[in-house]
Amino acid sequence: MKPLHWMRIVLPFIYLICYIPVMSQDDLHSVVSGLRGLEGKPESLESPFVAAGNRLYLIGFQNGTFPDLGWHIKGEMGGIWDHPIKLMDGFSVQLHSTQSGNSLCLNSARRFVNYPIGNHHEFHWAEEKMIISRFQFVPDDMEGMIVEFKLVNNGANDQVVQFDFTGSTDLRPTWLAERMNIFDTEDHLTLASSSRFAIGADQVNNWFVGFGSSMTPDKFREGPGPCAVMSVGMGKSGTLSYTLKIPANGGEAVIPFFIAGSMKDSQSVHATLNKLQEQGPKKLERKIARYKELRTTARIRIPDKEIEEMYEWLKYNTDWLVREVPGQGLGLSAGLPDYPWWFGCDNAYALQGVLASGNHQLAKATIELLADISNRTNNNGRIIHEVSTNGAVYNPGNTNETAQFIHLVWVYYTWTGDKALISKVYPFLQQGIRWLRQMDTDNNQYPNGSGMIEIHGLDSEMIDVVVYTQQALSAMSRLAIELNDIESSAEYIKQADHLKQMINEEWWSEASGSYADFRSTDADALPIIKAAMIRADTLRKDWSVAELKDRLSKLNAQDSVNTRAQLVYHNWVVNTPLETGIADRAKGRTALVTNQKYENAFGVYVTGLDRSIDADSVVLAARKKVFSYTGAVMTLPTGIQAIAAANYGSPDASLEYIKKLQKSFSYVLPGSMYEVSPDFGMFTQAWNIYGVAVPIIQKFFGIEPVAYKRAVVFSPNLPTTWNDVTLENLLVGDNMLTFTAKKSARQQEFTIGQSKPDWTIYLQIKGRPKKVVLNGKELHPKLYPENTLNLSGKGNVVRVFY
CATH number of the structural domain spanning residue 226: 2.70.98.10
Question: Residue 15 — pLDDT band, cuts 50, 70, 90?
Answer: very low
pLDDT above 80 for 193? no
Mean pLDDT check: name the lowest of 184-193, 329-338, 372-381, 746-755.
184-193
Clarify whether residues 141 and 217 are in a common domain.
Answer: yes
3-state SS class at 485? coil
Q: According to the model, what pLDDT value does residue 179 have?
A: 96
Q: What does the pLDDT look like over 471-503, one tens digit per residue?
A: 999 999 999 999 999 999 999 999 999 999 999
In the beta sheet, which residues pair with residue 582?
none
Q: Looking at residue 624, what is its pLDDT?
A: 58
Nearest Cα residue to 447 out of 468, 461, 430, 433: 461
How much is the pLDDT for 6? Answer: 41
Q: What is the pLDDT of residues 194-205, one digit of tens each?
A: 689 999 999 999
Domain encompassing residue 778: 701-801
Report helix, strand or coil for 479: helix
Domain boundary among 697, 723, 754: 697
Cα gap 537→530, rounded to integer Å: 10
One-letter amino acid identity for 321? L
Asked if 457 and 574 sit in the same domain, the reply is: yes
* Residue 765: predicted pLDDT: 95
Question: 631 and 612 in contact (C-beta within 8 Å)?
Answer: yes
How far apart, in Å, do the first and last CA atoms of the chain sit? 83
Report the CATH number at residue 652.
1.50.10.10
The Cα–Cα gap between 552 and 522 comes to 9
Same structural domain for residues 227 and 339? no
Residue 25, pLDDT > 60, answer no
Q: Flag whether pLDDT at 592 surpasses 60.
A: yes
Residue 237 backbone phi and psi in degrees, to 5: -120, 150
DSSP class per residue in 305-361: HHHHHHHHHHHHHHHHTEEEETTTEEEE--EETTB-SEEHHHHHHHHHHHHHTT-HH
Q: To the nearest 10°, report the CA torsion of 370, 373, 377, 380.
A: 50
Please give the radius of gyration of the chain, using alpha carbons only, rounded to the nearest integer.
Answer: 29
| Whether residues 769 and 779 fall in one domain | yes
Same domain for 605 and 468: yes
Lowest mean pLDDT segment, chosen from 94-108, 150-164, 538-552: 538-552
pLDDT value for 10: 39
| Co-location of 558 and 577 in the same domain | no
Res 704: pLDDT: 98
pLDDT tens digit string along 101-127? 999 999 999 999 999 999 999 999 999
Residue 20 pLDDT more than 80?
no
Confidence check: pLDDT of 626 > 80: no
Please choose, from the candidates 663, 665, 651, the residue with its C-alpha nearest in 3D space to the C-alpha of residue 722.
651
Q: Which of 697, 729, 748 is the last residue of a domain?
A: 697
Instruction: Give the contacts of 57 (CB within 8 A, at least 6 positions apart).
Output: 50, 51, 80, 81, 138, 320, 336, 340
Across residues 565-587, what is the average pLDDT?
Answer: 97
Q: What single-letter amino acid sits at 615?
A: A
Mean pLDDT (whole number) for 164-178: 97
Mean pLDDT of 663-669: 97
448 and 493 belong to one structural domain: yes
Q: Could you give the angle at the alpha carbon of 134 between the alpha carbons of 133 and 139, nearest 5°?
A: 140
pLDDT in tens, 410-448: 999 999 999 999 999 999 999 999 999 999 999 999 999
Give 596-623 pLDDT, tens digit per residue: 999 999 999 999 999 987 776 666 776 6
Q: What pLDDT band is residue 9 in, cutting at 50, 70 and 90?
A: very low
Q: Give residue-wise pLDDT tens across range 321-357.
A: 999 999 999 999 999 999 999 999 999 999 999 999 9
Residue-by-residue DSSP string for 350-395: HHHHHHHTT-HHHHHHHHHHHHHHHHHHTSSSPPPSEE-TTS-EEE
Q: What is the model's pLDDT at position 677?
A: 96
> What is the percent of the chain where pLDDT is above 70?
95
Lowest-confidence pick of 33-42, 53-62, 150-159, 624-633? 624-633
pLDDT recorded at residue 627 = 63
Distance CA 730, CA 300 (A): 9
Residue that terminates a domain, selected from 648, 670, 697:
697
Q: Are 716 and 665 in contact (CB under 8 A)?
A: no
Strands 79-82 and 57-61: antiparallel
Is the confidence at residue 16, as pLDDT, over 60?
no
Do 456 and 505 reside in the same domain of the chain?
Answer: yes
One domain for residues 495 and 640:
yes
Span of 167-171, 547-551, 592-596 with lowest mean pLDDT: 547-551
pLDDT tens for each residue of 678-728: 999 999 999 999 999 999 999 999 999 999 999 999 999 999 999 999 999
Report the CATH number at residue 727: 2.60.420.10
On average, the pLDDT of the chain sits at: 94
Q: How far is CA 493 from CA 314, 408, 578, in A?
A: 35, 17, 19
Measured distance CA(655)–CA(659) in Å, rounded: 6
Residues 513 and 495 in one domain: yes
Residues near 672 by beta carbon (within 8 Å), at least 6 away in sequence: 114, 313, 317, 665, 666, 683, 684
Looking at the fold, whether 591 and 488 belong to one and the same domain comes out as yes
* 718 shares a domain with 777: yes
Q: What is the model's pLDDT at position 613?
A: 79
Number of structural domains, the chain?
Answer: 4
